[in-house]
Amino acid sequence: MVRRLLCLVLVCGALLLGCSAAGSGTDTVRESRLPAEARRTLTLIDRGGPFPYEKDGSVFGNYEHELPAERRGYYHEYTVPTPGSRDRGARRLVTGAAGETYYTDDHYESFKEVLR
């Protein structure tokens, strides 16, 4: 009983602090803790656009294998503008067909699952 309670406390604490999601190995971040530009991009995604970048909504190939393996076309990517950047920058949101959302600020080298 004590062991189960301790496990529950650790899992809840990890989720509240934005640490690794239980069993997934992917870090998490609450939507409210994302940069303002990422929150604005999420609003555009929820509305279905219009998107400011031509590549927004394109298929994300997951070639880095940082996200769970899924069939091609499962993930789509969206640009999160970076203030002062002359190009699209390194920040992206990636959505999955089941409704999950991931954020990267290092051009796909690492991801955090967005808790909405």
Q: Which two tokens stand for residue 71?
A: 């069939």
107 carries an active-site annotation: yes
**Catalytic member of 64, 70, 107, 109:** 107
**Catalytic member of 77, 100, 109, 113:** 77
| Strand partners of residue 93 | 78, 103
The DSSP-derived string for 43-112 is HHHHHT---SSTTTTEEP--TT--SPP--TTSEEEEE---TT-SSS-S-EEEEETTS-EEEESSTTS--E
37 carries an active-site annotation: no
Q: Which residues are catalytic?
A: 77, 107
